[in-house]
Amino acid sequence: MWLPHLGLSEAERLMLLERKWLNDLVINAGQKILKEASGVGGLQDTLLMQCSGFVAESAEFVQVVNLTNSHWIVLSNIGMTGPNVRIFDSKVPKRLSYPLDTVKAAACLLQTKDDQIFLHVMNVTQQKSGSSCGVFALAFAASLCSGQDPTKLHYDEDIIWQGLFENLSNRQMTPFGIKSTTRTVKKKRLRVVTERIYCTCRRPDDGGKMAQCVVCEDWFHETCIGRIPKREYHCHYCQRRLSKHKVKASKKNG
């Protein structure tokens, strides 16, 4: 083992030295160190999104997320209020659109009662190599946990890999890969993506079957409520409220 205390083997050491796409083991090792050192919320095991989803955070968070098993980004609500999350992405898509994984992850972390969440795509240094998204994501996360604004920093791909390698070797995650702290951009935010969220789980439409409550008109996932009834659907909250109303009415009439 290369770093047994972090669960990293010789394969992960070579992965960093050869600048290959980073796996969950490396990303989670970096997040673990950041969590221990900073106490910032989030920084959860990235594999949780493949299971039940991230655990809701009650305070500010930083979270590295794997999109479609091929690209790493960072989500954070540091400096934000309400149902707002910032996206730090070293390879922003040309159409500025993000897959459902992004919305699901943000919704899980926020667990807001609002009907919408707002994803702010931030203007950060863009990667040149196709395999560098993971190292950039950890660099953004390290900066955020240290109180720095990644939009104001210029990250250098020539030094960022060595910076992560040294950090992990020394079991630390100080800001790394930064060539300049005076990066200037016309717009710190490239776009705000608005997404609707539904159901008791407060997550987006995942393409599966959904039922609309005839009273509150909110939509609910079949996977959350069980089989969708053939008749009119009343959500649990409205059903309980109607039951209380009937009880009060019967007592009044009695």
Looking at residue 239, its pLDDT comes to 86
pLDDT band at 249; cut points 50, 70, 90: very low
Tokens of 32: 């673990």
pTM over 0.75: yes
Q: What is the pLDDT of residues 82-113, one digit of tens each?
A: 999 999 999 998 877 788 889 999 999 998 98
**Cα–Cα dist 139/126, whole Å:** 12
Q: What is the pLDDT of residues 33-71, one digit of tens each?
A: 999 999 899 999 999 998 878 999 999 999 999 998 899
Looking at residue 244, its pLDDT comes to 64
Q: Tell me the backbone φ, ψ of residue 75, rounded to 5 degrees.
A: -110, 140
Contacts within 8 Å (CB) and 24+ apart, 220-225:
224/199, 224/200, 225/199, 225/200
Dihedral sign for Cα 169, 146, 53, 70, please: negative
Burial-class residue 24 by CB neighbours within 10 Å (0-12, 13-18, 19+).
Answer: middle
pLDDT band at 251; cut points 50, 70, 90: very low
Looking at residue 247, its pLDDT comes to 43
Mean pLDDT of all residues in the chain? 91
Tell me which of 246 and 54 has the higher pLDDT. Answer: 54
Contacts within 8 Å (CB) and 24+ apart, 36-42:
37/145, 37/172, 37/173, 38/145, 38/146, 40/78, 40/144, 40/145, 42/75, 42/76, 42/109
Per CATH, the number for 4-196 is: 3.40.395.10
**Cα–Cα dist 141/76, whole Å:** 9
Q: Residue 8: beta bridge partners? A: 3
Looking at residue 90, its pLDDT comes to 97
Q: Residue 196: beta bridge partners? A: 116
The answer to whether the CB of 121 falls within 8 A of the CB of 97 is no
The answer to whether the CB of 12 falls within 8 A of the CB of 26 is yes
Average pLDDT over residues 142-152: 97
Domain ranges within the chain, ordered by starting residue: 4-196, 210-253
Task: Return the amino acid letter for 53.
Answer: G
Average pLDDT over residues 159-175: 97
Looking at residue 150, its pLDDT comes to 97
Q: Are strands 71-76 and 84-88 parallel, antiparallel or unpaired?
A: antiparallel
Average pLDDT over residues 144-169: 97
